[in-house]
Every structure is written in structure tokens, then in C-alpha cells.
Structure 1
């Protein structure tokens, strides 16, 4: 079935911006739902694209970054990731994020996934890249990343962490499982 041929069953009656900052915009919509009932729908619009990178060296190692995530009040391991302005090329952003967070520069890049982080409440789009043929240098962390840890480990172990529920960040889960499938791990 062609997804583009399916008609939108929702009707938007009105929308009102409730909150905005430099990262997100929250809008409340008055709607008629697919069953014909009136209701509301909230949408979080991200002002950036989600970008994730999985660096892999010739020996099959990767690098995770760990940081305390304010929204969850917990420390989390994840792939190097960040945001890109909507008008920035995702690959350029991936190169920047990898270098900023790990100090790694890659010569070979492959886009392995396009995703929506939570399509029930947000329109955020994301891109995951495989980075290979790596060179190491100094990282350049942003102020909010001052506590970031970098961990080199076998790619298989990172995938196993996803399967054990130790990595829960959605771009990391999607990226690592996709790469594992592509590499037959």
C-alpha cells in the first residue's frame, strides 16, 4: 500500500502556540479526530534535526558518550549525537558532532537510518551515520557537555547493551540495532 495515497483522517480546526524557545515550539491544536469527535492535540516542533553517529574502527570498536540527562535525572550511555539546524546538511552536522564529542574525524561516511524520534507528539526527524576510517584528536565539548564521558568498546558489546536495556536513547537504539543488522552482528 502506498503511504502517500492514504488520506489524512484528522481535521485541524485551529492551533495556538503555547510555548517556544530556541530548541522547541509547543502548539495546541483543536481537532476533529478520525472517529469524528472534537478534541485537542499537542505537538512539539523541534527547531533542529536529531543527528547520531556510530564510529567504528578497523578492529570493530565503537565509542559511546555518557552524560547526565537532565530530563531523565539519570546518567546515560549513547552514541555521539546532537542537533542540527533545519537548514544544515545532516552529514555536515554529523561530522561536527563526532569531532566535538569524541575528537574523532572520519574519512568514510554512510547514512544508515532516517527516523522520527516520537511521532505521536513531535515532528522531530533524525539521521544516523556510520563513520569509518577514523583519526583521533581532541574533543571540543559544549558547556552542557562538560561532564561527558567517552568510552571505547567493541561494537558487539554496545549492541548487547541495547538488548539488555542499558542503552535506551532512541537514536542510539535504532542506530546500533540497524548497524548490527547491516554487519550481521
Structure 2
């Protein structure tokens, strides 16, 4: 337990104790004085990886989705390829690995398009999203604990799935919307803009 008062913006942290730990997450509980001057408790989930996600776009303007059952919410989820990377590894390296493992794809070109926080009231997890193109198709090699399906479809159809709530994963929604906005602004790389029918 840490008992040296410290400030986090307008919050005062009077003491901190670790209440749970496993290889993927830890949970710390903080005795705090809130911005209104009131005592309280604040629990934070500390994620031991950085989330990486990829929008893989081929020359025909198609993207790949990965389908799998998500345990916490107990439902089947269609998502862009994504996963966790070690904190001491550059996110781009983890993204390359995840794309290959989940879809079998390798990409000749990459562009970071998104840096985002997840559930930032309760978690310190961050995500880094990438656009990948100049794709080569290969064999997927998912982790032994993963049972996934792969689906290739036009980018516009994936975007429509996100707008309709058929893609509920926030990271996937954010990346698809970011590509759409960049496309409308003429800010995508030329080959991707051409493939998706946006102005270069």
C-alpha cells in the first residue's frame, strides 16, 4: 500500500492498494479526496498491454473482419483485426503480428490513424489504430484459445455495419469512422483513396 498523498489533477490520492492482479490486468483502489473536497474510493483497471487495431484495405476496396465470441458481454462480435501488444514493443510491430495471426494478411504499407482511450473513467487502456494496404494473402495462425471466423467485404458494407450497430466493438467503429472522415477530407494515401473511391 502507498500512503504518500499525491495529486492527479484536481484529485488528491491519499493511499493506494493493489486489490487484484493477473498477467493481463491489475486493479488498484485509491483512497481519494475528490475535486469537491469529499473523501471516496476510486478503482482503476490497469491494462498490461496496448490495444492495436487494423483497417486492412485491398486494391478492390475491401476490408477484413474477424468474428469471435466475446466472453465479458457473452455475444458474437464482428470486428476489425485487433489485439493486445506488449507495452515495451512498438504498436506497429504488434499490429503486424495481429494482422498476420488473425487473417493471414501481410501489408506493404502502414499508417497510424488513431490513438484512443477506452473507458477512461475506469481503465488506463489505450488503443492505436492503423490503416494497412498493399496486402498479401496468406494463412491465418490464431492463438490456441481463439476460435475466429474471417470475412472479406467492401469497406462501405463494413461502415454500414458499424452505423447499424452490427459492429458494436468501439475500437472497430472508431477506426472505420476515421477512415471515412479522412476519405471525405481527401487525406487518405492515394492507393487507399483510389480503392475506396474517395478524392486523393
For 2:149 and 2:41, locate their aligned partners in 1 and report how far apart those are by CA, in whole Å.
Answer: 41
Q: Following the alignment from structure 1 to structure 2, what is the Cα–Cα distance between the partners of residues 57 and 135?
A: 9
Equivalent residue of 2:54, what SS? strand
Q: CA RMSD in A?
A: 1.0
- 1:160 aligned partner: 160
Where do 4+ consecutive residues of structure 1 move more than 3 Å? none
SS at match of 1:143: coil
- CA distance in 1: counterparts of 2:168 and 2:15, whole angstroms: 35
**Is residue 181 of structure 2 the alignment partner of residue 181 of structure 1?**
yes
User: TM-score under structure 1 normalisation?
Assistant: 0.94
Other-structure match for 1:52: 53
Q: Which runs of 5+ in 2 are unaligned?
A: 1-7, 185-197
Shift of 1:144: 1.9
Query: Matches of 1:144 and 1:40 in 2, distance apart?
Result: 35
Alignment partner, residue 136 of structure 2:
135
Measured after TM superposition, the shift of residue 118 of structure 1 is: 1.1
> Within 1, Cα distance between the matches of 2:179 and 2:139?
26
CA distance in 2, matches of 1:171, 1:25: 21
Q: Tell me the equivalent position of 2:189.
A: none
TM-score normalized by structure 2?
A: 0.87
Offset at residue 143 of structure 1 (A): 1.5
CA offsets 1:68-98 (integer angstroms, 9 cap, x no match)? 1111111000010000011110000000000
**2:113 corresponding residue in structure 1:** 112
